[in-house]
Amino acid sequence: MAEKNLPCSEEKLQQIAKEYGTPFHIYDEKAIRENAKKFIKAFDWVPGGFKNYFAVKALPNPHIMKILKDEGMGADCSSLPELVLAKTVGITDEDIMFTSNDTPAHEYREAIKMGAIVNLDDISHINFIEKYAEIPELVCFRYNPGNKKKGNKLIGNPEDAKYGFTYEDLLEGYRILKEKGVKRFGLHTMVASNELNPEYFVETAKIVFDIAVEVKEKFDINFEFVNLGGGIGIPYKPEDSPVDLNFVSQGIKSLYEETIVPAGLAGMRIVMECGRMVTGPYGYLVTTVLHRKETYKKFVGLDATMANLMRPALYGAYHHITVLGKAAAEKEICDVTGSLCENNDKFAVDREIPHAEPGDIVVIHDTGAHGHAMGFNYNAKLRSKELLLKPNGNIKLIRRAETIEDYFATLDFTTL
């Protein structure tokens, strides 16, 4: 099987592991920057400019967000702490998209105060923000196309999704906004997750463009932008191919010229809010083998757990595994496990990898999105550090590991 790229040589990674101690996630700044440039360039035809609002939940580290800001990205936030993170790195005003759901009033108030673009999830939220916050000058709605769009494996059918407006509510919502004097409008949808078929994103654009044209005709509303959401997948498996961004972009461009321009909406911006494809492939969880055991099966036990990377246990996600320095070793089929008292704490089940011994360094690939971010403290496992591999080869610690004191920080021992 083809091997996947590492961020640097195996020797260097061994050295970093020795110096910093495992486990840690390490992110490749150079690759993140190159990918961001490529992504934005693919959409350089968009009148008024294309912007990706990085879905902060994928990798909520300010050092990474700053790099992405540098490359021209905004932030897609869904909670107050994410809004605060964005502000901390200097992402402000309409460079922030607030795409939340089941949102508390104070978070809407804060987002509106910050001048973020507020993306409402339901028609009832118009009254909600009017009552508890205010209706901002620019409002965006999240559309759920229901049975007009097939879902994908990871996200399910749109009709079952908790997100977004129905078609009828969407039209009614824009009518109400117009009546209330709102002057600036956006339209959003997000129906895929980790989707590798490029056609899917062109189809999504068609659905959204058609609605934009319909709302323009019915209510004379000129959308400033449409937000095509995130969901661009990444090649987790060595045999997967990345989404061809130029194919997606050119497909959307043709639709834009066929529908948006003739409808008098020329100049409407296109934005996205991708997270996974921005950082996912450029993060690696570096761990050490602690134990081997051979019982009814073979098990290779690591010093990382699903608390460091939940995706395999949560939805059987594939993450490629490289054992450093063992390219020539004999291969065996084993389960690669963590130490939680949870039998599904496994990074791989029945996976063929080179024979690994205690002390070997194991690299788990594609952890740059929803890796550290999904971390948790079950079994009192402490979350790991995060390192940044700088373009000049230097290493920067961008988050220290948690300590026992951090774990106890919310407890009050004085009232025992």
Ligand X SMILES: *Cc1c(COP(=O)(O)O)cnc(C)c1O
Active site residues: 341
Instruction: Kindly state whether residue 121 participates in binding ligand X, applying the rule CB under 6 A.
Output: no
SS3 state of residue 197: coil
Q: Which of 36, 171, 190, 226 binds ligand X (CB under 6 A)?
A: 190
For the CA atoms of the chain, what is the radius of gyration? 23
Give the largest Cα separation in the chain, rounded. 71
- Complex with ligand X: residue 131 or 162, whichever CB lies closer: 162
Nearer residue to ligand X within complex by CB, 16 or 373: 373
Q: Which stretch binds ligand X (CB under 6 A): 55-63, 110-118, 259-267, 406-414?
A: 55-63
- The reply on whether position 275 binds ligand X by CB under 6 A is yes
The answer to whether residue 85 forms part of the interface with ligand X (CB under 6 A) is no
Contact segment (CB under 6 A) with ligand X among 1-9, 107-115, 176-184, 267-275 equals 267-275
Q: Identify which of residues 114 and 274 has a Cβ nearer to ligand X in the complex.
A: 274
Q: Specify burial of residue 262 (Cβ count, 10 A radius: 0-12, 13-18, 19+).
A: exposed
Residue 160 exposed, middle or buried by CB count within 10 Å (0-12, 13-18, 19+): exposed
235 touches ligand X by CB under 6 A: no
8 Å CB contact between 139 and 182: yes
Q: How far is residue 223's CA from residue 318's CA, in Å, rounded to a whole number? A: 39
Neighbours of 151 (CB within 10 A): 17
175/237 with CB nearer ligand X: 237
Residue ranges in 350-409 that form contacts with ligand X under rule CB under 6 A? 369
Whose Cβ is closer to ligand X: residue 274's or residue 304's?
A: 274
The residue among 58 and 356 lying less far from ligand X, judged by its C-beta, is 58
Torsion 57-60-62-67 (CA) sign: negative
- Residue window 87-106: x/- pattern of binding to ligand X, with contact defined by CB under 6 A: ------------x-------
> Taking the mean position of all CA atoms in its chain, how far away is CA 159?
22
Phi/psi class of residue 21: alpha, beta or left (left: φ > 0; alpha: ψ in -120 to 50)? left
CA pair distance 251, 52, nearest whole angstrom: 18
Choose, by CB under 6 A, the member of 7, 158, 229, 281 that binds ligand X: 229
Q: Which of residues 290-329 bind ligand X (CB under 6 A)?
A: none
Q: Among the candidate windows 67-75, 124-132, 188-196, 259-267, which touches ligand X by CB under 6 A?
A: 188-196
C-beta of residue 363 within 8 angstroms of C-beta of residue 354? no
Is residue 272 classed as helix, strand or coil in its secondary structure?
Answer: strand
Q: Looking at 198-206, 223-231, 340-348, 358-366, which segment touches ligand X (CB under 6 A)? A: 223-231
Rounded least distance, CB 230 to ligand X, Å: 2
Residue type, 125: H
Q: Find the shortest distance in angstroms from Cβ 35 to ligand X.
A: 13
274 scored as a contact of ligand X (CB under 6 A): yes
The residue assigned the tokens 């098990």 is 299
- State which H helix or E strand residue 115 sits in: none
Q: Which residues contact ligand X by CB under 6 A?
A: 55, 57-58, 76, 99, 190, 193-194, 229-232, 273-276, 369
